[in-house]
Amino acid sequence: MSYISDLEASFKKGAVVDVRSGDTVKVHQKIKEGAKERVQIFQGLVIRTDRTNSHTNRITVRRIASGIGVEKSFLLHSPLVLKVEVTKRSKVRRNNLSYMRELTGKSARLTGVDFDRQAVNDVRDLEAEKAEEEAKAALAAEAEAKAAEKAAEEAELEAKAAAVKAAHEAASAE
């Protein structure tokens, strides 16, 4: 059983924002389109949280887009979820706010609660930051090695060109 828990722990992020049902959040999600990557922000109300202490921690976020309700589920420990930012915290008494699907307009409002926004959103994963710095250093070293290789190749070509020029001058002098 410890093998499974070790494997699950290896996929967990070091720190995740404390998200609850009733929070209004901005989820920054990485989207790959062919060879390009971009970050898309999905803002809405968290209507459900699942398995909060697991590596499969999931939230369901709902928003109204062009008059149509849109729901998305996000795995918080996924590498594609870059950042979750809590913008508003509301008072709710249950975990699954499925009744919000039927409500629109003023009836869909929730009572806001004061909270320390900076303390909730300031989650730093030191291991991830360290890995990111190492990756940047490796890329810089690789680019430096390529530049040195290219400079050596250019020097070799210049030496060949000088030798050919000297041979032409010697041949024309004779």
Per-residue pLDDT at 74: 92
* pLDDT tens for each residue of the chain, 174 residues long: 688 878 777 777 777 788 889 889 999 999 999 989 899 999 999 999 988 877 788 999 999 999 888 999 999 888 888 888 899 898 989 988 888 888 888 888 888 888 877 777 777 766 767 777 888 888 899 999 999 999 999 999 999 999 988 888 888 877
Per-residue pLDDT at 122: 78
Per-residue pLDDT at 82: 86
Whether the Cβ atoms of residue 24 and residue 70 lie closer than 8 Å to each other: no
Per-residue pLDDT at 1: 65
Per-residue pLDDT at 73: 93
34, two tokens? 């062919």
> 57-80 burial by CB neighbour count: b if 16+ within 10 A, else e?
bbbbbbeeeeeeeeeeebbbbbee
| Domain spans, the chain | 2-124, 125-174
Q: Regarding the domain delimited by 2-124, which CATH topology (the fold level of the hierarchy) does it fall under?
A: SH3 type barrels. (2.30.30)
